[in-house]
Amino acid sequence: MTVVSRPPLTSDERTQLTGWLDLQRSFVRMKCEGLTEADAHRSVLSTSPLMTMAGLVAHLRWNEYSWFQLSLVGVPDTGQTPWTKDGHPDAEMFVDDVPLAQLLDEYDEECARSNATIADLSLDALEQGTGDDDPASLRYILCHMIEETARHVGHLDIIRELIDGATRYDWRTPA
């Protein structure tokens, strides 16, 4: 995924929401450019050892899947997710043996799947897979995913700076 531009200032709500989410998603790959495998998997925070560049990419991928596939459209989990009933709550971040390039490709594929899933849904469409009496709308999910992705892009930025001093934020690069 290449870095995309901000959505047009006067675009409709759907274009704004999906545009801001796509912009934040594009920063994930950008923050990881040029990392070695060792650096991608290096823990720089002693109190949060799973918070690595690779771990965050995996976390974001599985959040996409969880919100858009499992919760929104109700795709049943057939064991493909990293979570188990009594497993570690951050199991998706145990990726020491997975190459960063693979994690980034899986993230991009999941983002594309998410976009395809929501393409024909109303922003008022409600979650089908939660069994909850108070399901979230697609509008809520998009706002949440903008927040979730942007927060973790900030983490990626800080971790990258701690690893090698690299900083970059370029939202004006054309797609």
Task: Report the SS3 class of residue 42.
Answer: coil
Cα angle for residues 16, 57, 69 (degrees, 5° grid): 60
pLDDT in tens, 5-50: 889 899 999 999 999 999 999 999 999 999 999 999 999 999 999 9
User: pLDDT tens digits, residue range 76-123?
Assistant: 888 888 988 889 999 999 999 999 999 999 999 999 999 999 999 999
Q: Which residues pair with 126 in a beta bridge?
A: 137
- The tokens of 98 are what? 């997975």
Half-sphere exposure (Cβ direction) of 5: Cα atoms closer than 13 Å: 7
Distance CA 46, CA 124 (A): 42
Domains of the chain (ranges, CATH numbers): 13-76+91-164 (1.20.120.450)
The closest alpha carbon to 58, from 20, 104, 26, belongs to 104
Q: What is the pTM assigned to this prediction?
A: 0.92
